[in-house]
Structure 1
């Protein structure tokens, strides 16, 4: 027996310190619900988790972009729906005035409506916009960023409606003041209806693509978040069990330390 150095006490202190550190770590994991609350816990896991977190946040923004893009295309589609209604009315007026059952006065009155509608359909197209962006003027491609990377092919969708405006302008030169004029206007109205139908189909297919992209982004986000959670988040059941075990070890180490600290006193009694 030696009294100069209480090796048993030092061992008990070290064990108590290790248990206390481990218990503190488990408490932090439970409190923050993060297994990797600092990079030192799992450097490789922390690096992977950080990359996945950045990817997932980018994914959420891409989802918002997709939703906004869908809303923008809805505005374009609704606008062209109104234009199509007017174009059908123009065709109707042209057919009505292409027969001899109407006199010149009737045609003049009808022509006023025809001209007003021809101007209105252009006004509607020129004023169609989403958040200040013109949708149907055909001036430039509208790009929608629906991916998380910078790939023109895989992460962006473009659309441009350029030929509807040209057909609209042609109607301004038409009138229904005569049978011949009405018949000519009939052909121009048919051309416009075809252009609008084609453009709506184009926008509709783009909307469907954006919608599918949004669903795919949601699936990717869910799967990626689940994978990240397995790496980074705390397993509550496992951490709770580890904390309970640490509590038992803490009590045992404390009792062992107390006993080791009394050993020198027993030696003093032998000397006394």
Structure 2
């Protein structure tokens, strides 16, 4: 078969284009520091990388949910701590006012302090976290307690506010208002007990004052139990956040192994490709240098 000049030129141009594409590939990897820049670079690797990216996105969202849930619980724990302190103070005032030797005017002063603590309890019952009421179940946009819960009827929601912190894993963050403060008309609820204590103090009723002491202690135990449950949920979230953080690091490492370029190897390949491409140009320049006049001589 006769080898013509055009065949040689076409073959050399094809080889030159191949060398240039190889050089361009390594230049792109060097600039992006990624081994895979388009699906055609590694179809199997792209599929794996997409799976890892999906896992990272989901895990990151679960982390954000867990952080929000933890913040809600921490705020709720702060509120419950204050409720506990108020009930403890009310117990002290009941013991102080329940002594027969305490004069009526002193009991009136104690009643005034009890009234202030009562109003603070109502305020705590209407606590909000990020604009959401924390003691009204799923009806977080509705104020749970009226200004005077002993005189104005109210109905609390018993739904749970849950955050998804994993695939099929949720955690409840709210504490039901009835569990801490009692339902309307419940004479053993904290609002009713405190109101009766205030009335007994103003009426100079020693027996009524003393009867409030065990009721306050019972409410204190209920509050402490609810706070302990909240603490248990916080501990669970701490472990969950730690696990999610480890998972994210693992997925990112796997994604990096699939997508990211080995820079030292890319540098070597790039230098080799540059040398090959330059040699191809030099060789082609020498081979196709003869002109038509050279052939006519």
The TM-score, its normalising length taken from structure 1, stands at: 0.89
Mapped pair 1:211 → 2:238: yes
For residues 104 and 209 of structure 2, what CA distance do their matches in structure 1 show?
12
For residues 93 and 51 of structure 2, what CA distance do their matches in structure 1 show?
63
- Deviation of 1:17 (Å): 1.0
Gaps of 5+ in 2: 138-156, 183-188
1:145 to 164, 172, 179: 164
For residues 204 and 49 of structure 1, what CA distance do their matches in structure 2 show?
39
Mapped pair 1:44 → 2:44: yes
- Deviation of 1:260 (Å): 2.2
**Structure 2 counterpart SS, 1:146:** strand
CA contact (8 A) 2:72 2:173 kept: no
1:165 to 181, 193, 200: 181
For residues 61 and 33 of structure 2, what CA distance do their matches in structure 1 show?
25
2:86 corresponding residue in structure 1: 86
For residues 115 and 136 of structure 2, what CA distance do their matches in structure 1 show?
20
Q: 1:213 to 1:266 in 2, by over 3 A?
A: farther
For residues 61 and 116 of structure 1, what CA distance do their matches in structure 2 show?
43
1:224 corresponding residue in structure 2: 251
CA contact (8 A) 1:171 1:189 kept: yes
**Structure 2 counterpart SS, 1:174:** helix
CA contact (8 A) 2:22 2:273 kept: yes
- Deviation of 1:78 (Å): 0.6
1:174 corresponding residue in structure 2: 196
More helix by share: 1
1:197 corresponding residue in structure 2: 224
Q: 1:6 to 1:263 in 2, by over 3 A?
A: farther
How large is the Cα RMSD of the aligned pairs?
Answer: 2.1
Mapped pair 1:106 → 2:133: no
2:186 corresponding residue in structure 1: none
Deviates more, 1:235-244 or 1:114-123: 114-123
CA contact (8 A) 1:142 1:158 kept: yes
1:61 corresponding residue in structure 2: 61
Deviates more, 1:235-244 or 1:257-266: 257-266
Deviations 1:179-199 (A, max 9, x none): 211221111211121111111
Q: 1:6 to 1:266 in 2, by over 3 A?
A: farther
- Deviation of 1:225 (Å): 0.2
By relative contact order (CA 8 Å, sep 6+), the higher-ranking structure is 1
For residues 160 and 112 of structure 1, what CA distance do their matches in structure 2 show?
32
> How many residue pairs align between the two structures?
264
The TM-score, its normalising length taken from structure 2, stands at: 0.82
1:242 corresponding residue in structure 2: 269
